Chains A and B, each alone.
Chain A
Amino acid sequence: MSSAAFASPSHRPPAGPVLEMRAIVKTFPGVRALSEVTLSVKRGEVHALCGENGAGKSTLMKVLSGVHPHGTYEGEVLFEGEPCRFKDIRASERQGIVIIHQELALVPYLSIAENIFLGNEPSRRGVIDWREALRRAAELLRRVGLDEHPETRVADIGVGKQQLVEIAKALAKDVRLLILDEPTAALNDEDSAKLLRLMRELKDQGITSIIISHKLNEIAQIADSVTILRDGRSIETLDVRDPATTEDRIIRGMVGRSLDSRFPDRTPYKGPADVDPVLEIRDWTVRHPLDHSRKVVDRVSLQVRRGEIVGVAGLMGAGRTELAMSVFGRSYGRYEQGSVLRDGRAVGTRTVPEAVANGIAYVTEDRKRYGLNLEDSVSRNISLASLRTLARRGVVDEHEERRVAERYRRTMGIKAPNVLEAVGRLSGGNQQKVVLSKWILAGPDVLILDEPTRGVDVGAKFEIYTVIDRLAAEGKAILLISSELPELLGMCDRFYTMAAGRLTGEVTREEATQEVLMRHMTQDVPAPSAVGAGTPTPNEGHQE
């Protein structure tokens, strides 16, 4: 429990929080990411931070570690009883606060030892003392339980081991507070178990840590307390060892928000269940593009019918986007198996043009990277996926193009002075409407919408919901991927939940509540055994 021989040698304040963050407020242009967040971490504990995507966990940790420097936020940070005013990451590291981000920050072509001491090289008069570096690196690797030679290139070891190198790097800096942002999100089961074991060992050595995690079973295993964030506010802090702190209790804290009428009224889909679904995905399995040992999507099967809006719920790393992008022209990962059926007939979706030709459209979650040419005009962005139909003998009818763009500007309510405006100058919501217009113009039967309201203000959200509703009413099949449960509940006729690449449940509109969905989303399904009965039949049996 309490550390006897570690941490600050000279003045060790008696028991009490090692870290206190008080009334932290952080605003970005147009968004209040954190409002009055309070966090108190006890010495020597593993403290979990929990919340939906966008609840403010990462932002809070960026405030703590100086990524957002002092002065860009309001509130007070006390570490070891001293007020902290970090101006950058180095300043926080000097105090022993080290953050390990989701995306690892290692240089792949340097050795393990070089990475561990990067920016912190043991040297004499500016010359690196390699013998000392290797000796200390070997010692640190022993401490984190990594059986690799310190001179091995980081590129040559797996992600799980790279994670351990990150921790060794943190230990080299005399870490007193270790922050891990979803450390197991990118790891397979075995590596995850190893990492959790290491965290317990570090705790025994007196290192306090904060872990951001979506996996409730993980929290139950290693955390002492958990703080729940929701919509940029700290909701409560629970003692994990208290028997009252059940997974359901945590889930309630994460989602406990009222559903108001922010959604258009919608007559739920009441189609016959026996017709062939417009889109059916069978046994879809995809491996990570770089790390082939990881199945990012694992035997997923689902169906969408004409006029139906089907929601796909899942937390970060559940594999929803990966599923959608790999189905859409194999735009992600390494395809392993699975088929796509349109109206009961197997079709190819090997390339994007093939998928589009088969009536499938994918509206990306990351419009700036994958959806738009920001330098180009509204009209040219809208027409890009439909140029062939707007062109005669390879020449685009610019007149017609603008007429069409103008029509979408009006019907979709794109707020731009005119269709020649550069898309980069529009607001997020209007950019999103441009991406949507692009794909509606392409005339698909199936629309896969990936986080269609991310970074969109409330008013524009409602307009986008109305458009989605209209599309369904016109008979399109819609697969709606979203991290916002109220959005899913407000819009969808049926739900699938995913966790760790697998389908973990199928929920009807009647059964669905935020709690039910969240329970399925936080389930860590065991790897399906080799003798599994074909497809994992998603049903409502377990957990009830």
Chain B
Amino acid sequence: MLDVRELTKTYDGVAAVADLTFTVGEHEFVCIVGSSGCGKTTMLRCLSGLVEPTSGGVTLHGARVDGPPRDMAYVFQDYSRSLLPWMTVAANVSFPLPYKGLSKAEAAAATAEALDAVGLGDRGDAYPWQLSGGMQQRVAIARALAYQPRILLMDEPFASVDAQTRADLEDLLLRIWRRYRITILFVTHDIDEAVYLSQRVLVLHRPAHVHEVVEIDLPAERDQLSTKRLPGFGELRTRVLSSLRAPDPAGVNP
């Protein structure tokens, strides 16, 4: 469904994304890992149509992405900045919906359902800054859900919450992924998280291009304790890590 073909983005002659090619299928959960500064954020900005690629392109359901697509939602790493402090939780979730053509009643229903799905059904009247970090990120996920996307882009969404909250959010995301049958492209620098969540891990090297694809052949049902104890989990972890650290054969990296 999401087709990235020879995507290149250069800033002042320096490539942030170089010849990046991959596809994400319908209902897939794909994680992208790469060291910090490898061009992940630039890549996401190209995928979401926020910036024009220098060359190559992105297609979603066969249509070229040249602006933010209507069936794509985005969850940012920095929830405290992507949520608007002057709006209540419910307003933060619902304000994009009229621009998508939903009526007032439809928007209210979608908002209520999305907040219920993330377990914040009773906090709609609160302001984001009255909630904990983990709850704020759940609001951001609810906003993405209410937008009823077919694909969800997530940019290190759990990087700034504590470990326990992070595990809870990961499991919440897996439940949502199954229940709503959406496609998720999840960027992280945490290898455990990538292996635990996804069906496929793309390892990115700098400037952003796919160095290796690691298929995650773990049982579909994941659990923080038992999945991470599987011998396969450790092996996959090691494979992703060594792939991250591997030198580039073509000598792209100095």
**Is chain B found bound to chain A in the same assembly?**
no
- Residues of A with Cβ closer than 8 Å to B? none
